[in-house]
Amino acid sequence: MTIFRLFTVLPEFDPSSDNPLANRSRCDSLEAAKLLIARCSKQGEGPYFHYPDSFRLVLKELTGMELDADAHCAVAQDSTRQRLLDLPDDVCAALGVVVCAANCERGKIFSFFKELQSLRVLCALDDVKEEIVLAATCEEYNRFRKSADEMILAQVEAAPKGRQYFVWFDETSKYDFPVDSSDDGPYTRPSGLDIRDLDGPWFWDAASLHKLLLERRNTLAPPLYPVPETALGTVDGVPVTGHLLFDPDALLPIRPIPHRRTHYGMFTILRFGGKTIPTSSCQETRDGLMGVCRFVHFLAKEKEGGRAVCLITDGHSSLNSVIFCVTATADHIQVSDYRAAWEDFAAAVEQYLM
């Protein structure tokens, strides 16, 4: 069975961590998968593994070949033999994963590495008795879903009239892998005034707002160490980076289930053509932080030379609820949290509103 866990960015691999995402399977590349397959042959250094039943099942489904366990090769119907390690890369990746899941790292989460990102491999892994949990970024998952939707559409268009609905239902069921959302995590915020406590719209008294932002920033302890920049992925080919202290999926959860969405609030300063437009709104997303970044980037690229600076809250018009600041131009998106979120938005208020 294949299950997805979705994240904005995966934590660094750490075999000593209590976090199952950091302490995930070492089978995270084609090379690692081939090493595990080789361990099923009692040649070279041990420990040695057995070929699980799922190995034979995946081999048969992906290649139509049978396993000769004694000779450690795959046998075609015409008796042609092929070394297991000479099989196509995606087949080796899938076989390595099932060896790992059945023998040495039971219950571990697997990275959704490149060679696993094919529809036929995922369908084959979905048929095994072992539970294969794949940790994927939203970007990787959406790319896979797009491939699946294109495949389904092609099958439906090729189906005879009168059969199209049944083909659509069968194909959709084939690629409908369960998605387990990341857990919500605690985030402690300081107490204080709402933006709504300012006289008039939040942007009218820019000087008071600027002072309030910096005062709220000062209630938070400075980080003990510099926060490194992290590449969070891309939005429509535009890089997203951030100096983040917190797990973004704990602050703004991904909700892959269609009828569940995460609500968030935005205080936006939009700048283009020498004009500044401040607005506030409530939005919702299923894609967590990357969904927010996509929307902020949409605002920034609407006008040539546009720039959008957005203070993101957990759905309330309150400085107590701030979780991120997202700054977007046409060619880059920058995310900050904790003290830096207040600092970045305060700088935009000073530059564009004061």
Are the C-beta atoms of residues 17 and 23 closer than 8 Å to each other? yes
DSSP bridge pairs for 334 = 241, 327
The confidence score (pLDDT) of residue 313 equals 86
The confidence score (pLDDT) of residue 45 equals 59
Q: Got the DSSP string for 296-333?
A: HHHHHHTSTT-EEEEEEESSSSBGGGEEEEEEE-SS-E
Q: Which residues are CB-contacts of 65 (< 8 A; sequence separation ≥ 6)?
A: 59, 74, 75, 76, 82
CA dist 125 and 178 (Å) reads 13
Write out the two tokens for 206.
Answer: 């820019």
The confidence score (pLDDT) of residue 294 equals 92
Amino acid identity for residue 143 in this structure = R
Specify the length of the chain in residues. Answer: 354
The confidence score (pLDDT) of residue 186 equals 40
Q: Which residues are CB-contacts of 103 (< 8 A; sequence separation ≥ 6)?
A: 36, 49, 50, 52
Q: Which residues are CB-contacts of 116 (< 8 A; sequence separation ≥ 6)?
A: 90, 93, 94, 97, 110, 122, 125, 134
Q: In order along the chain (354 residues), what is the average pLDDT of each group of 10 residues? A: 82 83 88 89 68 90 90 89 91 92 85 89 90 84 84 86 84 80 46 55 82 84 82 90 87 76 86 86 87 92 83 74 91 92 92 88
Give pTM, 2 decimals. Answer: 0.64
Are the C-beta atoms of residues 223 and 339 closer than 8 Å to each other? yes
The confidence score (pLDDT) of residue 11 equals 78
